[in-house]
A and B are shown apart, each in its own frame.
Chain A
Amino acid sequence: MKTRIRELRKMRKLSQEELAEAVGTTRQTITSIEVGKYTASLPLAWKIARFFGMTIEEVFDFSEFEE
């Protein structure tokens, strides 16, 4: 799944480690989500979106699920 996490993180000059700590996950999980290897669960997606002050749809790209 495509996300805007890397872009948002860079805009705020945050490292993966810092974001991971803020949302209670590991740096490796953030890396996997950023490169699209792993899709975050709903609670984690919500935490990430809330951290950036956005909605889940603004951070995660759900276009592949649209018919």
Chain B
Amino acid sequence: MEFKKKLKQRLYIAVSYIVIGLVLIAADALNHFENHYFASFGMALIVMGILRLIRHRKVTKDEAAIRRQEVAETDERTLMMAEKARSWAFTYSILIAGIAVIILSLLGKHDTAQPFAWFVCGQVVLYWICWLILRKKY
């Protein structure tokens, strides 16, 4: 039941993408902006919305398909892998940015190194905030 609600929400999101895309294209056409940023963005949203609708239709074909999708999305091993992948991505992004700071500093490119240094600091601060929240929660 909960999953069906989730699927319905996804359907609404897909329709919203299409509507927002159409609004952006209309705004672009009516205002004659210099570059067609709004129209391109709107078109991208429409394509995303249509793809989501196709996927939604495929997933909600019948009860068995819905059940299969629910199992695939809530499977504990899949969730564990997704969490591990996020954790690895976070760790490696900090590591790579840290190495970039050191290399760029050694090369004397301090201006380029600075955003990377801020990024590392931001990530570490965010990590500790998340850790404190989780410690309180569990």
A residues within 8 Å of B by Cβ? Answer: 20-21, 24-26, 28-29, 32, 38, 40-41, 44
Contacts and interface: CB of A to CB of B under 8 A. Distances in A.
B72 interface: yes
Contacts of B78: 26, 29
Contacts of A41: 76
B77 interface: yes
Nearest to B74: A24
Contacts, number: 25
Given A21-B71, A24-B74, 15 more contacts: A20-B71, A25-B71, A25-B76, A25-B77, A26-B71, A26-B72, A26-B75, A26-B77, A26-B78, A28-B75, A28-B77, A29-B75, A38-B80, A40-B76, A41-B76
Interface of B: 71-72, 74-78, 80
Contacts of A28: 75, 77
